[in-house]
Structure 1
Amino acid sequence: MPELIFRLDSTKKFTDQEKIGHNRWHPDIPPVATVKPGQSFRVDCREWFDGAMHNDDSAEDIRDAPLSVVHALSGPFRVEGAEPGDLLMVDILDMGPIPQEDSGPLAGQGWGYTGIFAKKNGGGFLTDQFPDAYKAIWDFQGQTATSRHIPGVSFTGIMHPGLAGTAPSAKLLAKWHEREGRLRATDPDRVPPLALPPEPKDAILGSLTGTEFDRVAAEGARTAPPRENGGNQDIKNFTKGSRVFYPVFVPGANFSIGDLHFSQGDGEITFCGAIEMSGFVDLHVDVIKGGMETYGVAENTIFMPGNVAPQYSQWLAFSGMSVTLDGEQRYLDSQLAYQRACLHAIDYLTKFGYQPEQAYLLLGSAPIEGRLSGVVDIPNSCATVYLPTEIFDFDVRPSARGPVRIDPGMGAPKASFG
């Protein structure tokens, strides 16, 4: 096992650990450890809400989720010799739920969760159709996930970190704030908001204290979106065997990682669409000197997908076009087309007895494939959702005999705002 350089005690809050990570992006957050190019090491990671979600049959914790605390990130880790303009090469060697802890109150101790976030508290890809909070608990057995809230399915998870990245420079941080601020100004009262401004409340900034803490808390960028440094990309294929190349913007790169997922469908469409968990990840790092200019990787990450994807061979695919539910034609709107494809898949699964919310949660957590299938045929973009049929305990393919009707069980717990 590689050396564990960031240890987390499951019985303690993220802020009570021996080494404290962070939940904002800023160049002045001090590193918690230094690693060398060519070194392999292990990092413990806390699920993104630091234990605020519970293994129960209520969705009140999802409804009341404290968004200002996310994401609980392990790091930053300084990489010796890395300089702005380099590429940081990160290999994901291994990862999984909390080792030797197969039961307990913390997600990752034998279980995880998926949430549909309420429109008034985060929202999601289909928030206009699903404005209330719902939750599904998933139990782990090896690499397989099953849920008492979504019966009739089991699948192999593609475990991956939802969030990893390097620290921004001061110049890049200012660029983020300027462009996201301009976007918010176009509709400042929108629910959910168009972008999240800095929020000092609940900021976690490693070892910073006093006036430095207050300054960085007021300037730090929220970790919700992906950006030039990587960030919250939620790419399900960042799994074992992946090699990821991150631009370096500050001396030492200051790499951080977290938001571990047991499984996820393309798009993480419910916002908390993955199966969230705490766990560990083994990493190997190296540096490509001057790699940003050499390879033209200055505003993006590139990666080689992992080699442990489940071997599903049969799929049922649903297509969507860039036409709204009200019949309004949009021009090559691929996001709208993907929304419509997802809604078609949800409608289809209800014919077998699932509640719409159960189907939505399933699409967020199971290893579905999302694809932009046509982006040139004006005026309609076409997007598709590929659903693996082998995850079901029954035949979901269309046939002359009609759909099987399953017992949806207790359903997904719901919580709404008044």
Structure 2
Amino acid sequence: MADFDGILQPGDRVPDGARYLPADPALVHWGRLPRRGDAAVMVVDPGEELVVDTVSHEGILADQGSDPVGFFGGHGVDRGGVLDDAVAIAATRTREATDGPHVVTGPIEVRGARPGDLLAITLLDATPRVDYGVISNRHGRGALPGEFPQGPGEVSVFTPIARDDADGEDGGGWTGRLPLSPDGERVVQFPLAPFLGIMGLATDTSERAHSVPPGAHGGNIDIRHLTAGATLYIPVQVPGALAYVGDPHFAQGHGEVSLTALEASLRARIRLDLIDATAAARDFGDLASPLAADATHLMPTGLDEDLDEAMRACVRQAIALLGARYGMAPHLAYAYLSAATDFEISQVVDLVKGVHARIRRSDFEGVARA
């Protein structure tokens, strides 16, 4: 995570020579995701890096007044601390009440991408654009619908971030800070680990997919391990891939139980790499859902409305991955996964639930690829 160094308004402090994609209202989708035939807002070559601004939906939704200046002002944020692109999106863009809440920047065409290929979206860096976020329990959803919210209204918990300098040095980490009670006299601190909840590709459909449920297209995958340095591999469905990113988070626990995690706008530096169909089949097998990866782990995923089915899908995907990548016999892969691999719940709040496995790369050091 790059240090927060003051609010990042559109265009502020973009590195010289960087390809930059702002979250201008004309360059985003709100509540629905790109599909085949959508016009790209940028065209890049495989392997190219770019800087992308993302905007959180928190503070711009109708039940928050559709007015981020008013909403955040009510929590002590002056106008200069509210993002101009968030204000512009709330003022000029509309969404149906049945659409998802998320704002996604894109789509981005990757030259040469074809159905059957994989697109790898790597998050190289994630920088907070503001020094606050929101954690919500709303819309009668979350892991405990009917129990929370406990009152009649929606709950949106304003959450500032600050540097933890308890050791008296300038090198302290950034933390989120939540009160233990409404009086705010005592707070709990937790570390930040920024990531993009949504990384995805256009669907080969005539209708735009809803932004909430993840799927083979990626989308609202909400895997907290996809921080700087991690990659999400997604099967390409349409020519050019048409990639997009959004749903920025400052932090999230596995499960994301209340409905959202610490949602807040990020500036992301990403790289888009293309793996052709032959290499994809050799290295990853037939991916039914996206594959996450970082320097230490491979993370196959399982997605389903039923959490048990999501778990089964993840185990099957993990067995197939080990077979394709290392030639591991299915019954031996099944045994290895049981003995040596953690299966974690990505989230349980996005209509389609997610499970991901954590396969240690180090366990296979020295093992020849299949």
Pick the TM interval, shorter chain: 0.5 to 0.7
CA contact (8 A) 1:114 1:135 kept: yes
Query: What residue in structure 2 maps to residue 389 of structure 1?
Result: none
- Which of the pair is proportionally richer in strand? 2
Is 1:111 aligned with 2:146? no
Query: What residue in structure 1 maps to residue 263 of structure 2?
Result: 276
* Paired AA for residue 298 in structure 1: L
Deviations 1:85-129 (A, max 9, x none): 11111211001211xxxxxxxxxx21100011142xxx1111132
Counterparts of 1:254 and 1:158 in 2: how far apart (Å)?
27
Which residue of the other structure, out of 195, 199, 209, is the alignment partner of 1:164?
199
TM-score, normalising length: structure 2: 0.59
CA contact (8 A) 2:217 2:289 kept: yes
Query: What residue in structure 1 maps to residue 52 of structure 2?
Result: 43
Is 1:5 aligned with 2:20? yes
Is 1:289 aligned with 2:276? yes
Is 1:31 aligned with 2:40? yes
Deviations 1:264-315 (A, max 9, x none): 111111112x1111121100121111144332243211121378xxxxxxxx
Query: What residue in structure 2 maps to residue 375 of structure 1?
Result: none
Query: What residue in structure 2 maps to residue 82 of structure 1?
Result: 113
CA contact (8 A) 1:88 1:253 kept: yes
Call closer, same or farther: CA 1:371–1:256 in 2, change over 3 Å: closer
Counterparts of 2:343 and 2:249 in 1: how far apart (Å)?
18
Is 1:130 aligned with 2:145? no
CA contact (8 A) 1:239 1:306 kept: no
Identity of aligned residues (%): 27
* Unaligned 5+ runs, structure 2: 1-14, 65-70, 77-95, 164-173, 297-306, 311-341, 346-370
Counterparts of 1:48 and 1:82 in 2: how far apart (Å)?
30
CA contact (8 A) 1:260 1:278 kept: yes
TM-score, normalising length: structure 1: 0.52
Which residue of the other structure, out of 277, 300, 309, is the alignment partner of 2:289?
300
The count of corresponding residues between Structure 1 and Structure 2 is 241
CA contact (8 A) 1:116 1:270 kept: yes
* Paired AA for residue 302 in structure 1: L
* Unaligned 5+ runs, structure 1: 9-13, 59-64, 99-108, 171-215, 308-331, 336-368, 373-418
Call closer, same or farther: CA 1:38–1:118 in 2, change over 3 Å: closer
CA RMSD of aligned residues (A): 2.9
CA contact (8 A) 1:110 1:141 kept: yes
1:226 is paired with a residue whose SS is: coil
2:38 is paired with a residue whose SS is: coil
CA contact (8 A) 1:49 1:72 kept: no
CA contact (8 A) 1:110 1:139 kept: yes
Is 1:237 aligned with 2:225? yes
Residue 371 of structure 1 and its aligned partner are, at CA, apart by 4.5
Query: What residue in structure 2 maps to residue 384 of structure 1?
Result: none
Counterparts of 1:238 and 1:245 in 2: how far apart (Å)?
11
Call closer, same or farther: CA 1:20–1:230 in 2, change over 3 Å: closer
Higher relative contact order (CA 8 A, sep 6+): 1
Is 1:97 aligned with 2:128? yes
Residue 334 of structure 1 and its aligned partner are, at CA, apart by 9.6
